[in-house]
Amino acid sequence: MNLARLAGLVGLVALVAAPPAARADRDPWQAGTTPETYARPGGRVRVHYVTTTVDAVLPTDADGSGVPDFVEEVALRGDESLARYAELGFRAPLTDGALGGDDRLDLYLENLDGADGSFTADTCTQTPFTCAGHVTLENDFAGYGYPTTSLGIQVLTSHELFHAVQNAYDADQPIAWSEGSAVWAEEVVYPAQSDFEHLVAAFLAKPFRPFERDGAGFGDLYPYGAALWPYFLEAHYGAGIVAATWARCEDTGADPSFLGALDAELATRGTTVEAAWIEFTRWNARTGTFADGTSYPDAARLATALRETAVAAPGQATVITEGLSARYVPITGVTAGSRITVTAMKPVALDVRATTGDPTITRVGDDTVATSHTFDIALDGEAASADLEVIVTGATRGAIQQEVIVAIAPYTPPPPADGGGGCQASGGGSGLAMAAAIAAMLARRRR
């Protein structure tokens, strides 16, 4: 969806409409119109439209088929989208029986106000909670800001039809998963469009936001930009993991959330959601201007994740983490051997990477989710300085807000306790070595 007008659409497209009794006629047209339909031979979608009133579709019929080109393209893109989802291992949308004339998925073209498309459920089952329904799309995209009408059709058909696919698994997953994976689906079917990149920018602008937090406010683009999560999963763990996770979302009594479903799927691959999240936040550090070829395919086309105010070495900063989240803390002007310490009340994951220069970064202790982390930094003998980045990852679902202190100070490792061996390692030399070790210990305590 186009960013310029998507702020007015969230909350309309974001939620699947709750089904009243099935509307057998589904007649949205004004009185006096003559509804028409079109389906491609062998196609799985049927397009419903009118040629008069404000709901009239664009009338151009360049091929002289008698069906407006706009209608023909909607049908084509709908069939292409469903075929691609089948190739990826997703279920087909549930059939609506004869509603709309036959068992094809029905797409209605109307003059919409604010939203440019939606999926509406007609009938649902309770366990599992799955729904059959229909899709409504904008009739001409006038005023919606898409570069071309064709791009608008591609984005909306792939997005809304994926909502129909989702409803064949579970109709009430959180918005970050339902809308995020629908935007991901746009990218899978039509990678040339830029809707995915625009919305991912809204996600990378808020790395501090707890990913597991439900809901979204009016005009909130973050859950749409959460498309980056399934994009990461497919890139890191292999094609098919999104379809497998949706299959595990099916409610057979326990009503699993998407993170619980994903955790079960990742367990079969020897890992966890938390471990995936940590890696995800580190990939997100290497997008946009920080892309270095080690994360997403073509990561430079993605936005740059939000950074905190840079810390000039020596110095420190305090950041907040909450739930599954991340903070990116730049450290500039590292000019000599230094030690970075990070302390928190609750466990966090930590990584330190160089953004300029080629320093040696040594983790002191194990790479674990912990309340304290230490890294020693050494510069090449010819290097004047280096810039670093500390990636603080909140890796505990539901964790409350906490302060995390990131500090850097000069540090020189103590000499070996044995004084280097040889004659000076015995007699009076051993006393000097012990004195040096004690002095070094006291110095570390002071720092």
pLDDT over 80 (residue 277): yes
**Partner residues linked to 385 by β-bridges:** none
Residue 193's pLDDT is 94
**Do 245 and 99 share a structural domain?**
yes
Q: How many domains does the chain have?
A: 3
Residue 284 and residue 395 in one domain: no
Residue 303 lies in a domain: no
- CATH number of the domain residue 327 falls in: 2.60.120
When pLDDT is cut at 50, 70 and 90, the band that residue 433 belongs to is: very low
Vertex 287 angle, CA 286 and 292, to 5°: 55
Pair 113, 36 in one domain: yes
Please provide residue 49's backbone torsions phi and psi, each rounded to the nearest 5 degrees: -155, 170
Q: Angle 81-87-89 (CA atoms, 0-180°, nearest 5)?
A: 110
pLDDT at 427 > cutoff 60: no
Per-residue pLDDT tens over the stretch 166-221: 999 999 999 999 999 999 999 999 999 999 999 999 999 999 999 998 877 778 99
The answer as to whether 188 is a domain residue is yes
Residue 430 DSSP class: H
The verdict on 169 and 202 lying in the same domain is: yes
CA distances from 335 to 58, 192, 384, 386, 444 (A): 64, 44, 6, 7, 20
Residue 439 has pLDDT above 60, yes or no: no
Task: Please check whether residues 402 and 425 belong to one and the same domain.
Answer: no
| Residues 6 or more apart in contact with residue 207 via CB below 8 angstroms | 281, 284, 305, 306, 325, 326, 327, 328
Beta-strand pair 338-356/370-378? antiparallel
156 sits in the region (left: phi over 0; alpha: psi -120 to 50; else beta) called: alpha
**What is the domain range of residue 402?**
311-413
Averaged pLDDT, 277-294: 97
> Vertex 50, ends 45 and 54: CA angle to 5°?
125
Do residues 95 and 179 both lie within one domain?
Answer: yes
What's the pLDDT score for residue 423? 38
Residue 402 in domain = yes
Q: Identify any residues that bridge with 117 across adjacent strands, giving them in sequence order.
A: 137
Decide if pLDDT at 440 tops 50.
no
Look at 334 and 440; give whichever has higher pLDDT: 334
261-273 burial code (b ≥16 CB/10 A, e <16): bbbebbeeeeeeb
Q: Same structural domain for residues 61 and 202?
A: yes
In a domain, 183, yes or no: yes
* 151 and 268 within one domain: yes
